[in-house]
Amino acid sequence: MEATYIKTKKDGRIVIKSGNKGDRVLKGTIVVLSILTVISFFFFNYAGLELGSAIRETAYNLKVMFLQPALSTISLSEAIYQVGVTLSLAFLATVIGAVIAFFLSLMAATNLSPVWLTRIVRVFVAFIRAVPTVLWVLIFAIAAGLGSEAAVLGMLFHSIAYLVKAFSEAFEEIDKGIIEALQSTGAGWWHIVKSGVLPSTFTYLLSWIFLRFEINFGVAVAMGAAAGAGGIGFDLFMASSFYFDMREVGFITYAILIVAFLLEVISTRMKKRYFPASSN
């Protein structure tokens, strides 16, 4: 049943309209974005474009990439090693970020810290979260130089901001009775966190950490080329941009997809084991 709302005008007339403001805003947004999308096609530079040839070449490249994958410039052992490097970058940024985010999220939770402190922390992490990871990586690359250090620091900053928001929201959903019961026994702030907050939210934190690890793996692949961090992303960049070896691009793409699939399987199994309610 479609919702209706009543609006009274200045002259006293009552207007009844179907739907609600949220629906109209959503529909208006979709219409505006659709119009802008169509308009954007008129600003493209189509000089020298042969659509038929482009479609044939794209189809051929896709066939070579995904039906004839092979390694030519690197060996299989080197490819496995580079995948390990990418996983290590993602793991390092996630673990350090999770530890820092845990303590910051305690200060960002309204039921655990003063209002003024939560506002400061939330504004700080919101600013960090608003800046894309690649920009943070480039900012740190100016100071630390291109390499794994800049990539880890950039991913670390964004991971902290992402996890602080997730962790603090999990802390705020804790039953107030648990905190009040511990306070009534004279428990201090840290004892409340250790005995009440952490046991009640551990499965949530674990789930968010692993989700961020999956995100960081994808980011680490991209940063391998953008920040010179190495790993399988750098080999993918070299194969596609310098060697134009579509077979190697296809092989590396398959390797990344397999690792991403394995991470998803592990994440699903961990959720079913430690947090069965979230998988229903």
| Nearest CA-CA partner of 254 in 75, 68, 112 | 68
| Nearest CA-CA partner of 237 in 227, 189, 267 | 227
Residue 175 tokens, joined: 């039953």
Please tell me the predicted confidence (pLDDT) of residue 13. Answer: 63
| Nearest CA-CA partner of 223 in 157, 138, 166, 163 | 138
Per-residue model confidence as pLDDT tens for the chain (280 residues) = 455 555 565 555 665 555 566 677 888 889 999 998 888 888 877 777 777 888 888 888 888 888 888 888 888 888 888 888 889 989 999 999 999 999 999 888 888 888 888 899 899 888 888 888 888 888 887 777 777 787 888 888 889 999 999 998 888 888 777 777 877 777 777 888 887 888 888 888 888 898 899 888 888 888 877 666 678 888 888 888 788 888 888 888 898 899 888 888 887 787 777 665 544 4
Sequence letter at residue 116: W
Question: Measured over all CA atoms, what is the biggest interatomic distance in the chain, rounded to whole angstroms?
Answer: 79
User: What architecture is the 69-279 domain classified under in CATH?
Assistant: Orthogonal Bundle (1.10)
| Nearest CA-CA partner of 155 in 174, 134, 169 | 134
Torsions phi, psi for 71 (to 5 deg):
-100, 140
Which residue bears the tokens 């309209």?
17
Q: What residue segments make up the domains of the chain, in order of their start?
A: 4-43, 69-279
Q: What is the Cα–Cα distance from 149 to 141, expressed in whole angstroms?
A: 8
Q: What is the Cα–Cα distance from 135 to 128, expressed in whole angstroms?
A: 10
Please tell me the predicted confidence (pLDDT) of residue 76. Answer: 84
Question: What is this structure's pTM?
Answer: 0.76
Q: What is the Cα–Cα distance from 104 to 56, expressed in whole angstroms?
A: 53
Q: What is the Cα–Cα distance from 98 to 162, expressed in whole angstroms?
A: 10
